[in-house]
C-alpha cells in the first residue's frame, strides 16, 4: 500500500496474551494509514488487523480520510522484509484536517509511526512481487518501539536471510541501465539492513578477476554475490568463482575421443571396449550398450586448488548467487524467479530464498583443427549453442551500439544466410525412466505427424517446490560425487550423431525469455542433472522458419519436427569438420573446434524460489 493521506492518533490500548500453544500474542489499537482505526494483532504467523467501527457520525469518513472497503487484513512474517520506526516524520494533531478534538487530550499531541515493508503477488503474473507498506500510528513512542522490536525479533529468526552481500554492477549491460537498476532496488537492501559492497565494473573481465582473486576468507564474510546485469555478466562472475576453486575430472568421453585426452588422466568415462552407436537422419530406437564403465577414478571428487584456502566448500548451501535483471535476455532470472523484474529479484534476495541450479562444465580441447590440444574449462548456467546460435552472437558483436535490438537484427541476417555445418556429436544415453519417457513422447509425436494427427507432448514444468529438482541426495552426507548421478546409470551407452547441422544446442535450463515464452525446452528443470541436447539438422528454409516460429509461441512445439533431435543427457562431445567453430556460452563468444561437456547437478545455489505456475 503506497503512502498517501494523513496519519491519525488513537487512544493507547495494548495487551499481551497467550494462545493455546503458549506463543505470545500482542494486540494494540492503532491507526492504519489510509484505512482508519484498527486492532493490530501479532501472532506466530504474522500480523493481522481488524477495522474498528467509526466513532464519528459518518461511518465512512474519519478525519477526512475515507475508509477503504477492500483492503488487506494480514501479512505473514515470511512476506515482511523490513520494519522501520518513522519518528522523524511526526504529525501534530492540530494539523490534521477535520480532527475530532474530543478523541484526544490536547491538540499538540504528536503521532509516532512505524512502517511494515512487505510484498504481495501480482494478480496477472503470480511470480512477480509488488512492494507494499503498511504504516501504523500511535501517540506513544514506546508503543511504536515495542512493535518494531517485536517484529524485528521475529524477522531475525527467519532462516537464510543474508546480512552481507558483494554486488557487481554492469553499467553498460542491456540498454545501459545497470546503474539505474541498482539505484531502484538499493533501498530494499538498505531497509532490510543488508550490507552491500558495490563494485561498478569499468571494463570487460573485471568481475572475473575480482572473483577469482578474492581470498576464501573474504568470500566467507559474504552471504552471497549479486550481479546487476545480464546472463553474460553472471557467467563472468560464475566462472571467476568456480575456476580457481572447483577441481573436478574432465567430462566423460567415448573411446575415439581418448587419443586426444588420454595423457591428461582426467577424463571420467573412457572404455576402450565400448561400442558406440551411430545415428543419421533416421535414428533407430535400439543401440548397443556400453560394455563396461568400471574404471578407477570414475567417481568425481571436488577440492579447492592448492593455492586457495581450503575452507570454502563447493557446493555451498549458505553462499548463494543473485541476479538483478538488467540485460538483453535475462533468461536465468526468468527461469529462477519466474519474472524479469528487478523488484522481484531484489525481494527474493533479501528474503533469503534458495533454489539449486545445475551448472555445465565445458572443456575445449582444440580451438581450431590445426591447434594443439590445450584443455580450457568454462562453466555455463543456461545454454551453450553452435551454428545458428554461434553465428548470431558473432554477428551481434558488430552492432553493439544498437543495444538489445542487435540480436533481432543479427538473428534475421543469420537466418537469411541459412548456413549449415558438418559436425559429429556423441552423447551419453543413460536410459533412465525420465529419458525413456521423453523419447517415447518424441516417437509418438513422429508417428502422429506421419498420420497427420495433431500432437502436443505432455510437459512437466519446473516450478516452486519442484518435485523433480528436490529429488536429490544431501551432498553434505552422501558426498559431492552425487552431483553427477546420471553418469553411473546401469543402462548407459554412447550414441553418435553426425551430419550437417543448422545448430547444436545444449540447454541447462528451459531458457525462457520474452522472445520464447516457454523457452527452448519447456520441460527442462533447474536442478535435475540433465543437459537438453538439441540438434537441428539441415532442412529447407521454410521448415526452419516454422521451427523458430514455434519457439515464439506459448504452448508451441518447436521440438516436434523430423529434423529436430532432442536428447536428455548428462554429457556429450562435439567435433567440428570445418575450419572455424564458434559457440555461444551464456551469451558470450567461445571458440571451440573440439569440446566435451558434462552437467553438475545443483552445483550452486541461487537467491530464488523458482517460477510460480
Is the predicted pLDDT of residue 234 greater than 50, yes or no?
yes
Domain end residue (candidates: 125, 157, 189):
157
Mean pLDDT of 277-300: 38
State the pLDDT at residue 465. Answer: 87
> Contacts by 76-80 with C-beta closer than 8 Å and gap 24+?
76/45, 76/46, 77/45, 77/46, 77/47, 77/151, 77/154, 77/155, 77/158, 78/46, 78/158, 78/351, 79/46, 79/118, 79/119, 79/120, 80/46, 80/47, 80/116, 80/117, 80/118, 80/151, 80/155
Is the predicted pLDDT of residue 5 greater than 80, yes or no?
no
Alpha carbon distances (Å) from 292 to 85, 254, 271: 67, 12, 7
Is the predicted pLDDT of residue 557 greater than 80, yes or no?
yes
State the pLDDT at residue 65. Answer: 44
Q: Would you say residue 65 lies in a domain?
A: no
Which of the residues are catalytic? 231
Q: Which of the four pLDDT bands, split at 50, 70 and 90, describes residue 248?
A: confident
Higher pLDDT among residues 455 and 129, named by residue = 129
Averaged confidence pLDDT in the chain: 80
Comparing 33-37, 240-244, 273-277, the range with the smallest average pLDDT is 273-277
Same structural domain, 140 and 204: no
C-alpha cell at 278: 551411430
State the pLDDT at residue 483. Answer: 80
Q: Per the omega criterion (within 30 degrees of 0), is the bond before 315 cis?
A: yes
The count of residues in the chain is: 613
- Cα–Cα distance measured from residue 522 to residue 512, given in angstroms and rounded to the nearest whole number: 8
- Please, which residues have CB within 8 angstroms of residue 384's CB and are 6 or more apart in sequence? 360, 362, 505, 506, 583, 584, 585, 586, 590, 597
Is the predicted pLDDT of residue 101 greater than 60, yes or no?
no
Is the predicted pLDDT of residue 543 greater than 90, yes or no?
yes
What is the residue-wise DSSP string for 513-545? -SSSTT-SSTT--SSSS-EEEEEEE---HHHHH
**Reported pTM:** 0.82
State the pLDDT at residue 25. Answer: 74
- Cα–Cα distance measured from residue 492 to residue 216, given in angstroms and rounded to the nearest whole number: 38
What does the pLDDT look like over 13-24, one tens digit per residue?
455 544 444 445
Same structural domain, 145 and 205: no
Domain span at residue 131 reads 26-52+71-92+109-157
Is the predicted pLDDT of residue 157 greater than 50, yes or no?
yes
State the pLDDT at residue 177. Answer: 86
Same structural domain, 474 and 536: yes
Q: Would you say residue 289 lies in a domain?
A: no
State the pLDDT at residue 19. Answer: 46
Q: Would you say residue 3 lies in a domain?
A: no
Q: CATH number for the domain including 116?
A: 2.30.29.30
Is the predicted pLDDT of residue 12 greater than 50, yes or no?
no
Q: What percent of the chain has pLDDT over 90?
A: 52
Phi, psi of 532 (to 5 degrees): -105, 105
Same structural domain, 205 and 119: no
Is the predicted pLDDT of residue 56 greater than 70, yes or no?
no
Q: Which of the four pLDDT bands, split at 50, 70 and 90, describes residue 70?
A: low
Nearest to 69 by CA among 41, 35, 38, 33: 35
Q: Which of the four pLDDT bands, split at 50, 70 and 90, describes residue 47?
A: very high
Q: CATH number for the domain including 485?
A: 2.60.200.40
Same structural domain, 209 and 77: no
C-alpha cell at 422: 558438418
Same structural domain, 147 and 185: no
Same structural domain, 187 and 226: yes
What does the pLDDT look like over 384-439, one tens digit per residue?
999 999 888 888 877 777 777 777 888 888 888 999 999 999 999 987 554 444 44
Same structural domain, 152 and 227: no
Nearest to 532 by CA among 424, 384, 377: 384
Alpha carbon distances (Å) from 71 to 45, 50, 62, 67, 469: 19, 10, 16, 9, 37
State the pLDDT at residue 291. Answer: 30
Same structural domain, 191 and 76: no
Sign of CA dihedral 426, 427, 428, 431: negative
Q: Which of the four pLDDT bands, split at 50, 70 and 90, describes residue 76?
A: very high
Sign of CA dihedral 121, 124, 127, 129: negative
- Cα–Cα distance measured from residue 549 to residue 415, given in angstroms and rounded to the nearest whole number: 12
Same structural domain, 229 and 118: no
Contact 212, 230 (CB under 8 A): no
Q: Which of the four pLDDT bands, split at 50, 70 and 90, describes residue 561?
A: very high
Is the predicted pLDDT of residue 304 greater than 70, yes or no?
no
Same structural domain, 194 and 229: yes
Contact 46, 76 (CB under 8 A): yes
What does the pLDDT look like over 315-361, one tens digit per residue?
888 999 999 999 888 999 999 999 999 999 999 999 999 999 999 99
Nearest to 139 by CA among 31, 22, 275, 297: 31
Number of domains composing the chain: 2
Comparing 64-73, 182-191, 393-402, the range with the smallest average pLDDT is 64-73
Contact 6, 63 (CB under 8 A): yes
Same structural domain, 354 and 410: yes
Q: Which of the four pLDDT bands, split at 50, 70 and 90, describes residue 257?
A: confident
Q: Would you say residue 132 lies in a domain?
A: yes
Q: Would you say residue 41 lies in a domain?
A: yes
State the pLDDT at residue 172. Answer: 87
Is the predicted pLDDT of residue 96 greater than 70, yes or no?
no
Q: What percent of the chain has pLDDT over 70?
A: 73
Is the predicted pLDDT of residue 166 greater than 50, yes or no?
yes
Is the predicted pLDDT of residue 305 greater than 60, yes or no?
no
- Cα–Cα distance measured from residue 378 to residue 587, given in angstroms and rounded to the nearest whole number: 13
Amino acid at each position: 500500500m503506497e503512502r498517501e493521506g494523513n496519519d491519525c492518533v488513537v487512544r493507547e490500548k495494548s495487551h499481551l496474551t497467550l494462545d493455546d500453544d503458549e506463543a505470545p500474542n500482542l494486540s494494540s489499537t492503532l491507526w492504519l494509514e489510509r484505512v482508519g482505526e484498527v486492532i493490530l494483532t501479532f501472532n506466530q504467523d504474522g500480523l493481522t488487523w481488524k477495522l474498528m467501527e467509526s466513532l464519528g457520525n459518518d461511518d465512512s469518513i474519519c478525519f477526512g480520510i475515507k475508509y477503504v472497503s477492500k483492503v488487506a487484513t494480514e501479512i505473514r512474517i515470511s512476506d515482511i522484509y523490513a520494519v522501520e520506526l518513522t519518528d522523524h516524520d511526526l504529525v501534530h494533531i492540530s494539523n490534521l484536517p477535520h480532527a475530532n478534538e474530543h478523541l484526544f487530550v490536547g491538540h499538540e499531541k504528536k503521532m509516532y509511526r512505524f512502517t511494515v515493508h512487505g510484498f504481495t503477488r501480482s494478480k496477472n503474473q503470480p511470480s512477480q512481487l509488488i512492494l507494499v507498506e503498511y504504516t501504523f500510528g500511535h501517540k506513544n513512542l514506546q508503543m511504536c518501539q515495542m512493535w518494531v522490536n517485536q517484529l524485528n525479533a521475529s524477522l531475525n529468526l527467519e532462516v537464510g536471510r543474508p546480512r552481507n552481500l558483494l554486488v557487481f554492477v554492469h553499467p553498460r549491460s542491456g540498454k545501459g541501465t545497470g546503474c539505474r537498476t541498482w539505484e531502484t532496488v538499493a533501498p530494499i537492501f538498505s531497509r532490510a539492513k543488508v550490507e552491500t559492497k558495490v563494485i561498478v565494473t569499468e571494463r570487460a573481465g573485471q568481475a572475473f578477476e575480482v572473483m577469482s582473486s578474492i581470498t576464501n576468507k573474504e568470500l566467507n564474510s559474504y552471504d552471497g554475490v549479486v550481479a546487476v546485469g545480464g546472463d553474460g555478466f553472471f557467467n563472468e562472475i560464475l566462472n571467476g568463482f568456480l575456476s580457481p576453486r572447483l577441481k573436478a575430472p574432465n567430462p566423460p568421453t567415448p573411446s575415439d575421443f581418448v587419443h586426444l585426452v588420454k595423457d591428461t588422466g582426467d577424463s571420467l568415462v573412457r572404455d576402450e571396449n565400448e561400442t558406440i552407436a551411430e545415428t543419421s537422419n533416421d535414428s533407430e530406437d535400439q543401440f548397443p550398450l556400453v560394455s563396461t564403465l568400471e574404471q578407477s577414478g570414475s567417481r568425481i571428487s571436488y577440492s579447492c586448488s592448492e593455492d586457495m584456502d581450503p575452507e570454502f566448500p563447493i557446493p555451498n548451501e549458505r553462499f548463494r548467487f543473485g541476479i538483478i535483471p538488467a540485460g538483453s535476455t535475462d533468461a536465468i532470472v526468468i527461469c529462477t524467479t519466474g519474472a524479469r523484474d528487478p523488484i522481484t529479484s531484489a525481494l527474493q534476495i533479501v528474503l533469503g530464498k534458495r533454489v539449486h541450479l545445475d551448472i555445465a562444465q565445458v572443456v575445449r580441447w582444440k580451438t581450431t583443427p590445426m591447434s594443439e590440444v590445450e584443455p580450457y574449462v568454462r562453466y555455463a548456467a543456461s545454454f551453450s549453442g553452435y551454428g545458428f546460435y554461434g553465428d548470431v552472437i558473432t554477428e551481434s558483436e558488430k552492432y553493439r551500439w544498437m543495444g538489445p535490438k542487435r540480436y533481432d537484427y543479427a538473428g534475421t541476417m543469420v537466418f537469411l544466410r541459412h548456413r549449415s555445418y558438418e559436425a559429429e556429436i556423441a552423447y551419453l544415453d543413460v536410459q533412465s525412466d525420465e529419458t525413456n519417457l521423453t523419447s517415447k513422447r518424441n516417437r509418438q509425436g513422429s508417428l502422429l505427424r506421419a498420420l497427420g494427427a495433431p500432437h502436443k507432448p505432455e510437459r512437466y514444468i519446473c516450478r516452486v517446490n519442484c518435485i523433480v529438482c528436490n529429488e536429490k541426495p544431501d551432498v553434505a552426507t552422501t558426498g559431492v560425487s552425487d552431483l553427477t548421478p546420471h553418469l553411473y546409470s546401469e543402462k548407459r551407452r554412447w550414441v553418435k550423431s553426425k551430419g550437417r547441422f543448422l545448430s547444436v544446442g545444449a540447454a541447462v535450463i528451459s531458457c525462457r525469455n520474452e522472445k520464447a515464452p516457454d523457452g527452448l525446452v519447456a520441460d527442462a528443470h533447474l536442478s535435475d542433472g540433465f543437459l537438453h541436447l538439441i540438434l537441428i539438422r539441415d532442412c529447407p528454409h521454410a521448415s526452419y522458419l516454422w521451427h523458430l516460429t514455434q519457439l515464439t509461441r506459448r504452448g508451441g512445439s518447436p521440438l516436434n519436427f523430423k529434423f529436430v533431435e532432442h536428447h536428455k543427457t548428462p554429457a556429450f562431445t562435439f567435433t567440428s569438420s570445418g575450419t572455424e567453430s564458434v559457440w555461444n556460452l551464456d551469451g558470450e563468444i567461445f571458440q571451440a573446434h573440439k569440446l566435451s561437456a558434462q552437467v553438475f547437478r545443483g552445483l550452486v545455489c541461487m537467491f530464488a524460489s523458482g517460477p510460480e505456475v
